[in-house]
Structure formats: structure tokens, C-alpha cells
Structure 1
Amino acid sequence: MSLPLVIDYEHGISAIDAQFHRPKRAAIHLIVEKGVAALVDTGTSFSIPGVIASLEHKNIAIEDVAYVILTHIHLDHAGGASECMRLFPNAKLVVHPRGASHMANPARLVAGAMGVYGEAEFKRVYGEIYPIDAARIIEAPDESRIDLNGRSLLFLDTPGHARHHNCIFDERSQSFFTGDTFGVSYREFDVDGLEFVFPTTSPVQFDPAAAHASIDRIMRYQPRHAYLTHYSQIGNLACHAQSLHELLDAHVDIAQRAKNDEDRQAVISKALREILLQRLTQQGCRLPLDAIDELLRSDIRLNAQGLIHWLDQPTERFKQL
């Protein structure tokens, strides 16, 4: 296995490319504290050989991986968890209480994904997913902590993208590992050190009121950086928090205006593309349009699907706005 892209940051934090669909789309974060390691998110089962190669390159033994931490159980974040637990003999899996049972018995999780992708495509993208021994699973409720060789990691329940989502505050680096709660930010969009961040409203548990509250909760800790699964370290967090709030409201407005359209997927997707292109232009993005479209295509499709699912929930949902 060749070594995947690895970006090393301060405080023993590294981003290992999950090699999910394309380079620099999904990151697996490695935290090392005095020789003991934790992984935050896992990519898919196909990502794990790259993790092993990266650990070997850093002279970290598989026996020294103490924790495999999931921000949430969507399979681009958690699909490699069972393979990790098979290969890391001393590791414990740390997951939101709402996700723990799905890791111990992933049948429903797998069936749901196969219903979307079909069995052949599911196996091509995600590989095999196996049950994890419940005795090796640690549930991390709101404001719980784990100790990584003297380094405190604080778990915050941060719904909005998913109801089974934690963000993890690392006191050593004064930074958060945010999964999808603090949006998506591809490094290709960076302009003169300023990142471009946009929300992920993908299926099936988008909740705009909760998303706004989770962003505000993260910012109350005045973090230095956020480490996003898509894709890794960003700064300028006060600026991005404001932009995320604005874009969340814009996403909701787009969805509500398209509520009765016959082809809501197309209408919402077109409007999402327009607003993201407008924001990128304002920021000074220099990429050609076809490159921008290629980077955004999958997220726009998934965000539109998530907004449609949200629209179709009972009307009580709208009273939260």
C-alpha cells in the first residue's frame, strides 16, 4: 500500500487522506499524545490500508491505537470502523449514544445504504462492514470526556447534520474535530489563506434550528481551528460561523420556495449551485467553472436530497424556524 496524502499539524495532529472518491475529499484525523494514538473518523474499509501505512511511516504500532472516535455514523465517516477494530487490538470505539447500537449491529445501517446505492455499488464504495463487539464500544454522551494518555478530549452533542453527531474539543490544541457540523471546506477553494465553507444538509436528519445552535455552541469555546472531515484544518472561525449561519438560512429559503415545484431536486440543486458560485466569486476563487462544478456536484446533489427530506417532514418541523 502506498502512503496516502498526510498533512501534519501542530500538537500531534495529522490528516490522513481517506481516498474517498477523490483526493482531499475526506480526512481521517490522527491525534498522537506521547506515543498513544486516536483516530477521528475512519473513511471506508478501503481507507484503512492507507491508515496502516501512515502509522507505520510514523513508527506508531497498531497496539498503540487507543481509540477510534466517530463524529457520527454516516458511512464516509464510519464505514471503516469495523476494519479498524479488527486490526487495532487495544482500541476502543467511541461513538454518540444514538450510534452505538448501529456499530454493534450494522444490519439496518447497511440495509439503508444498500437501498440507496444497490448492493453492488455499496460494496464497491464501502466494502464490508461487520458487527463490533459491544464490550469494545464506549458511548460518549454530551459533555463526556476521554483521556488520551493525559490529553483530555471533550464530546459535545451537536445535532443539525445528524442526531447522532458529536464534535470533539481537544483542550491541548484548543480546537474542534467537527465531522460535518461545521460544514464542508475543500482546500482547492482556498484563496490567499481564506477558506470557503458551506453547510452540509444531506439526508436524512437535517435540522436547521439544531444546526444553528450547534455552530453557536462550538464558537462559545473560542476554538483556534476546526478539523473538518471534508477537508481538515480551517481557521478564521468567527468569519466562517457567520457565513454558515447565512448559508443555512439561504438553504432553508431555497427549499421552502421550491416546496411545491414538480421537480424539486432540479430546482433546489440549481439554486444551491447559484448561491455557492456567487459566494465563491465574491471570495475571489480562481478555479475554472468546470472544476468548481466537479468539486461541488456531489454535495449539491446530497444537500438538495436532504432539504427535500426535511421539507417532507411533519409541519411541526417548520415551527422551529
Structure 2
Amino acid sequence: MIDYDHDISAIDADLIRHGMASIHLVRAGDQAALVDCGTGHSLPNVRAALAQKGIAPEALRYIILTHVHLDHASGAGAMMRAFPNAQLVVHPRGARHMIDPSKLIAGATAVYGEQAMADMYGDILPVDAARVIETHDGFVLDFNGRPLEFIDTPGHARHHHCIWDARSQGWFTGDTFGLAYPECTVDGRAFIFPTSSPVQFEPAAMQASVERMLARDPQAMYLTHYGKVTGVPALGRALLARIAAHVAIAKACAGAGEGRKQALLDGLEKLLLDELRAHGSALSRDQAMAVWGLDIELNAQGLEVWLDSTAA
């Protein structure tokens, strides 16, 4: 667990490796909330973090999901059973998949297989509809006197919202403000890189969502992948440029036929390595791909779906 100012901490979700996915613990007086909840395997870390902070399970009042991709939300059902006073706060496009996760499970199982699903995500349990709060753009949750404002932030997914915390002057960004893994920080400067999704990547919408968040002049961003980043204006400029670079790579590969996927992978890897070198990172190619390989694969998938949708 990493403690930040303003009663915010990052709990490692233990997804694949340490430092890949975080769960943010937020306190407001004698109550607590989680922003994103990891997988079914993340529950022991959450229990330990609450115990370390002296927070009773009954004091956890909200489990807030930025979106319902499995690395952020598959533990919701287990968490709701463990914390009896919690309500689940979720985008209206994602709520039905938490109440009945069968489509999420079937889709992911078709990709990964049953054993890999169990290994990665654990049990994915339904959430009682009576305990679900659906948000809307501009929705404000009164978290024990600490208002949390939700805005719709499509681009990575259409069921994505980000949460403004006035106390910290920061956003909980899920995946909309990209990824910043600790291994790539140089002299205290985070390295930011966009993440598409294999199904709903919309680069123009993502750029608009990023610009909307930057307009609030945030002092910090709290990323699920991974943790708090500052120096937000410079990170925002870099992120917007790298989203544009993804679009340029996709357009350059659009006519590559059966070799399109490999061309996308090669182009994204080159972009990543060039940007890491410009950032001052000393990671080798193999070290960088050990950190970023899965994300490069997912980004290539997302660009393929986007190209197909624009062609249609």
C-alpha cells in the first residue's frame, strides 16, 4: 500500500505482477470508499489495508468502478459480499453487467479459457441490483461530506466515467488518462502511454475526455495503472500526442491486408521504445516489453477494431 495526501492510498490489486493495477482507498471521516476493486483475488489485500488503517468492514460505504473491464471490476461481487454496507457506484452502461455478469464471463472465457480466467480473475459474482447506484454526467456523490463528481469519459470504453475529488484537486482516471507504470519513472517523472480497448476504442472521444479533465487544472491524477501522477499538464500533452501517434500508425497500416496486425504491433513497439528513450528510460527492449507487451497487444487489437469500424 502507498499512502498519499488527502486520505488517499493505493492498494496493489496483485494482477499479473506487482505495480500493474491499483485499487484506490479514499477516506472521508469515519467512512471509506474504493475506486476500482481489482479481481476476486484482490480481496485479501483490501482486507489487510483496511485493518492496517483501522477501518472496520462496515465502514466501507462505496465501491466505485471507473468502468467494468475485468481488471477493474471483476472483484465487485466478492467485495460487495465482504462489505455489507457498501453500495456499488457504476456507469449506467456498465451496471447491468455487474448485476448479471454472465456476458462478461462468457466473452472473456472465450478469449482466455476457463483455467486462465480463474487464475487471473477468480470468481466473478453478481451484485444485488438494490445496492447499485448508477451515475450520469455531472452526478455528485456525497461521500460523508467529501463530494465526488462523475463525468462521462468515453474513448477507452463507452461505459467509462472519471471521478473528480475536490479535496485533492485530482481525478480518479481509470484508463482514460493512460498508463504510467512505476518501472518507467525517470527522476520522479512518470511516463504516460495510452491504452485502447479491443472493443470500444474511439481516439477522438478519448482526446476530448482527456482535454475535459485537463480543463479542471488538476493537481494530480490517480491512475488504476498505476497510482498517483503529478506534473499533469506535461503528461496531458504527451498523452494527447501519443494518442495521435496511435491514429497515425493505424492509418499507415490500414492497407496492409493479412499483415495488418503485425504491422500494428511493430509500429506500436517502435513508438513505445522511441518515446521511452526520449523520456530518458534505460530499459532495454526486452525489459520494456516485459512491462508493456500485453498493453501493446491490446492496443493493436483496439486499433484493428477502430479501423474496421471506420471502414464500415
**TM > 0.5 between the two?**
yes
Q: Hey, what's the Cα distance between the residues in 1 that align with 2:297 and 2:179?
A: 14
1:277 maps to 273
From 261, 264, 279, the equivalent of 2:260 is 264
Stretches of structure 1 that go unaligned for 5 or more consecutive residues are 1-5, 317-321
Stretches of structure 2 that go unaligned for 5 or more consecutive residues are none
1:127 Cα shift?
Answer: 1.2
- Can you list the C-alpha shifts for 1:197-230, whole angstroms capped at 9, x where unaligned? 0100121100011001000100111100000000
Give the secondary-structure state (helix, strand or coil) at the position aligned to 2:262: helix
1:298 maps to 294
Residue 177 of structure 1 aligns with an amino acid whose one-letter code is F
Q: Hey, what's the Cα distance between the residues in 2 that align with 1:95 and 1:155?
A: 10
From 305, 313, 316, the equivalent of 2:309 is 313
Give the secondary-structure state (helix, strand or coil) at the position aligned to 1:313: helix
1:314 Cα shift?
Answer: 4.5
Q: Hey, what's the Cα distance between the residues in 2 that align with 1:94 and 1:184?
A: 23
1:75 partnered with 2:70? yes
2:79 maps to 84
Q: Hey, what's the Cα distance between the residues in 2 that align with 1:195 and 1:311?
A: 30
| Number of equivalenced pairs | 311
Q: Hey, what's the Cα distance between the residues in 1 that align with 2:260 and 2:13?
A: 32
Question: What RMSD in Å do the two structures reach over aligned CA positions?
Answer: 0.9
| TM-score, scaled relative to structure 1 | 0.95
1:288 Cα shift?
Answer: 2.9
1:260 Cα shift?
Answer: 2.3
Give the secondary-structure state (helix, strand or coil) at the position aligned to 2:289: helix
Q: Hey, what's the Cα distance between the residues in 2 that align with 1:48 and 1:270?
A: 37
2:157 maps to 162
From 230, 240, 244, the equivalent of 1:245 is 240
Larger displacement relative to structure 2 (17-26 or 252-261): 252-261
Residue 279 of structure 1 aligns with an amino acid whose one-letter code is E
Q: Hey, what's the Cα distance between the residues in 1 that align with 2:250 and 2:296?
A: 13
2:172 maps to 177
1:202 partnered with 2:197? yes
Residue 95 of structure 2 aligns with an amino acid whose one-letter code is A
Q: Hey, what's the Cα distance between the residues in 1 that align with 2:283 and 2:293?
A: 15
Residue 307 of structure 1 aligns with an amino acid whose one-letter code is L
From 101, 109, 119, the equivalent of 1:106 is 101
Residue 114 of structure 1 aligns with an amino acid whose one-letter code is T
Q: Hey, what's the Cα distance between the residues in 1 that align with 2:130 and 2:161?
A: 21
Q: Hey, what's the Cα distance between the residues in 1 that align with 2:214 and 2:29?
A: 28
4+ runs of 1 displaced by more than 4 Å?
none
Q: Hey, what's the Cα distance between the residues in 2 that align with 1:122 and 1:186?
A: 24
1:289 Cα shift?
Answer: 2.8
Give the secondary-structure state (helix, strand or coil) at the position aligned to 1:263: helix
- Can you list the C-alpha shifts for 1:230-265, whole angstroms capped at 9, x where unaligned? 001001111111111111111011111111222222
1:3 maps to none
| TM-score, scaled relative to structure 2 | 0.98
Give the secondary-structure state (helix, strand or coil) at the position aligned to 1:122: helix
1:134 Cα shift?
Answer: 0.4
Q: Hey, what's the Cα distance between the residues in 1 that align with 2:84 and 2:14?
A: 24
Give the secondary-structure state (helix, strand or coil) at the position aligned to 1:176: strand
1:229 maps to 224
Residue 58 of structure 2 aligns with an amino acid whose one-letter code is E
Give the secondary-structure state (helix, strand or coil) at the position aligned to 2:221: strand
1:27 maps to 22
1:95 partnered with 2:90? yes
Residue 118 of structure 2 aligns with an amino acid whose one-letter code is K
Q: Hey, what's the Cα distance between the residues in 2 that align with 1:64 and 1:265?
A: 48
